[in-house]
A = this chain, B = another copy of it.
Amino acid sequence: MRPQAPIARRALTVVGMQELGAYRVLRLADPDGPAPAPGQFSMLAAVQRWGGGEDERPHVPRAFSIARWQEGEDGMEAHYLLEDVGPGTQRLCELRAGEEVWVLGPLGQGFTPPDEGRRALLVGGGVGIAPLAILQDLLLQHSGTPATSTGAEGRRDLAAPTGVALLGFRDGAHAEGAALLQNVRIATDDGAVGHHGLVTDLLARELDEDPEAVVYACGPAPMLEAVRAMCAEREVPARLALESGMACGFGACFGCVVPTKDGYLRVCVEGPVIDAARLAHVDAHAGAPA
């Protein structure tokens, strides 16, 4: 059974807020929260002044993938990777240590591990790399093999047993987010770091060499759609962590739907991770901020 959230949202203390290139990493002390499955998310809102930003927003909480779950100084900590794209993320990005955040989570359906013996290929785009970090942590932990920790691009490391991560970014500042993962290969739109082009170019190469891999992807809708199409063509299983505008995160509002082959699906309860085979295409609104 998936980890469930307590219905009472928790006011958690910010224990850290670090810059990571174009992103920020928010660390919340969560001593009593349930351990999340990779791919699950939380609904976050600043306890103070959630509202009063641009256009008198935000009002409802915002969804963020749990990027990491680890022992901190006083019990467990959840890490979130934030990109400031509007009033909600802006408010969260300005929080300082000691301030509080309402957290409802862990929510949603996370990633399921690859079948025994198959290699996981993580494919992330932009801030969509967040759920891949916790997934990689878990994969590495299960395999018992620490990944080679260099993030140098171009060095093809087929030997890595698990958790190799192909990450696409807009530019160099965003590519710094790759530090969240290990054993990464990077592609950038402007060629500043790694492969000059799309992360799906890297994915094609990997799949050429290991057609038995299982793909785990999160990122902007066009990227997810390219991953879906490529995996469908090659008959590679793919699990996509979708995103969608959400109001509640627990299935109450029916606002977060994406179209699937058999009708609309609520990303927050039936997702965010779903099997790519269920989608005819990835809806333009179903991805991470581009």
Contacts and interface: CB of A to CB of B under 8 A. Distances in A.
A51 interface: yes
Contacts of A50: 52
A116 interface: no
A49 to B, nearest CB: 4
Q: Which interface class (under 10, 10 to 19, 20 to 34, 35 or more) fits A?
A: under 10
Copies in the complex: 2
A86 interface: no
Nearest to A46: B52
A262 interface: no
A56 interface: yes
A75 to B, nearest CB: 29
A154 interface: no
Interface string A57-93: 0010000000000000000000000000000000100
Contacts of A31: none
Interface in A13-67: 49-53, 56, 59
Which of A51, A52, A91 has the most C-beta atoms of chain B within 10 angstroms of its own C-beta? A52
A56 B50 CA distance: 9
A102 to B, nearest CB: 13
A55 to B, nearest CB: 10
13 contacts: A49-B49, A49-B52, A49-B53, A49-B91, A50-B52, A51-B51, A51-B52, A51-B53, A51-B56, A52-B52, A52-B53, A52-B56, A56-B59
